[in-house]
Structure 1
């Protein structure tokens, strides 16, 4: 069984579930999971977890994502993209009169947190039923706004009525809905035309493989999988001394203060450039990241631990 993450380039007309199903056939293994849905008409990065790496699916789903989106101003649709029933709201001549600097200003105004109403055509569930199922039945129900965060946005093309922009956002953000909200704020309506996901966490579109390429690499026994350990390299590493190997292997929680006071950490992992051991060892509990890679004294990855209420608690174990 292959354990790791493969950076798939999802092509048009494939669902995320389609990608998983095809990979099961290519790799001849069942334990495979994707890291979040991508609309059938959208393309781009879809990290897929294999074997024991499926434990990381939830963690990857939580990561920020970057998209390149195209919005058409002056129209709206029931699906909030051009695949739905498109309605003209504002004439193209009127749209072309919009000030380009004003458009860029409005788009950039979405940077930060804002309450976004998710689209009816989405996989969100209400009373146990997916919204898109209700939408296909001709039903539209009230959706509660959800707080999302736009971390960065850059406009690359303003060729009215078309606008192309790149956006980095938090999990749960619908780019279709962002396009809708941009159109509404400009007072002319807006609808997403194209969407490319260019990055998920450390996985970039330049390094993504199409399913056909993966199939060919499997036949030729070429490497295409990112290991679990490489995936977790973004997190701080903590290596315990030999006396505590059994403790971590058995998945016990670790008291942060005891780690410092008892010096059960291999300090060579944390100390660099002859800095004071005590100061450097305390600093690891103050950094923003809440997850840590825990290793035994033989430098074997044991698991990913999460900082919580003064303890490091097992989050995902790989022993």
Structure 2
């Protein structure tokens, strides 16, 4: 039995390797003493780095975090392809050592250019995309062949930081800045295919989601939920323009009323509406000076409650 955490907020977690994102959610539910925990995008078990979790009413903010740009650091191994496009899968193709030995920085740079910018990318077949109601990775594990439709993504940065040759392979350490929905495994796969040697990921770490960095994240094993929780207002003001409310406006918006506000022309929405006490009351969208609630955030009820996880 655990005393429930009544506060809402967002947690930045540095996910370790070897567990799923759902494992992180489950452990956080237990430590927070609440079932109301959600995530803003998963990481594969092999991957490490930034996960953003919503607690209690702040799960309503997750919709606005999922679509943020991401930054990753990864290692791409050229010289072999796998059925999962990463090191956890079975090798399906191994290049002749001489072919890999002939790779140069120039040929690799030329092959990376078409993978940068606004591109059409076929997701990895072991992605979490649903096909006929099932996750693609589930179908692959059941022995089915999965062909996913290409999707438009943007890779704004694809930078080689270091490289090394060993055991017939060519490893590249890269930094990737990309739009939500981009598969780094697919970049490794497509680079290897373009070079004719096969490619897959051997390491992946997510370093940023939007303006939020893994350097500010808590370690899962030593997580103190209450101490690590970022308020909804902290998150919203980092993402959206801010409208400072007076006390009457805060009450009206909390009741779902529209606000008539004399404000300079600016973004139509979302706009973070902040009460005099610093609490996030809601997100608004504006039209002709009238702010309409998109989503409201009720005040936390901080009475002590005991729950059984």
Report the TM-score when normalising by structure 2. Answer: 0.85
Question: Taking structure 1 as reference, are residues 122 and 311 closer, same or farther at Cα in structure 2, changes over 3 Å only?
Answer: farther
Shift of 1:311: 6.0
Q: Is the 8 A contact 2:232 2:280 kept in 1?
A: no
Counterpart of 2:23 in structure 1 is: 18
2:186 corresponds in structure 1 to 177
Q: Residue 301 of structure 1 corresponds to which residue in structure 2?
A: 280
Specify which of 61, 70, 95 is matched with residue 100 of structure 2.
95
SS state of the match for residue 251, structure 1? coil
How far apart, in 1, do the equivalents of 2:119 and 2:234 lie? Answer: 34
SS at match of 2:49: strand
Work out whether 1:3 is the aligned partner of 2:12.
Answer: no
Secondary structure of the residue aligned to 2:218 is coil
1:83 aligns with 2:83: no
Question: Does structure 1 conserve the Cα–Cα contact (< 8 Å) formed by 2:233 and 2:279?
Answer: no
- 2: CA distance, partners of 1:158 / 1:104: 12
Q: CA RMSD in A?
A: 2.3
Give the corresponding residue for 2:302.
none
Q: What residue is the counterpart of 2:35 in the other structure?
A: 30
Distance in 2 (alpha carbons) for counterparts of 1:120 and 1:312: 43
> 2:61 is matched with which residue?
56
Name structure 1 gaps, 5 residues minimum.
266-280
> Which residue of the partner structure matches residue 216 of structure 2?
207
Q: 1:182 to 1:311 in 2, by over 3 A?
A: farther
Report how far residue 187 of structure 1 moved: 2.6
SS in 2 for 1:19: helix
- In the TM superposition, structure 1's runs of 4+ consecutive aligned residues that sit over 3 Å from their partners are 240-247, 295-300, 306-313
User: Quick one: structure 1 residues 152 and 98, their matched pair in 2 at CA, closer, same or farther if it must change by over 3 Å?
Assistant: same
Answering whether residue 117 of structure 2 is matched by residue 138 of structure 1, we say no
Q: Which among 152, 158, 165 is matched to residue 157 of structure 2?
A: 152
Q: How does 1:88-127 map to 2 (within 5 A)?
A: 88-127=93-132
Report the number of matched residues.
288
Does the 8 Å CA contact 1:100/1:158 hold for their aligned counterparts? no
Tell me the CA shift for residue 253 of structure 1. 4.3
- Where in structure 2 are the equivalents of 1:141-290 lying within 5 Å? 141-160=146-165, 161-214=170-223, 217=224, 223-234=227-238, 235-240=240-245, 244-245=249-250, 247-253=252-258, 259=261, 263=262, 265=263, 281-282=264-265, 284-285=266-267, 290=269
**1:139 Cα shift?**
0.7
Q: Once the two structures are superposed, what CA deviation does each residue of 1:97-128 show, in whole Å capped at 9, x if it has no partner?
A: 11212312432442211111112212111111
* Greater percentage in helix: 1
TM-score, normalised by the number of residues in structure 1: 0.83
- Contact (CA 8 Å) 2:10, 2:55: kept in 1 or not? yes
Displacement, 1:2?
2.9
**Contact 1:108 1:154 survives alignment (8 Å):** no
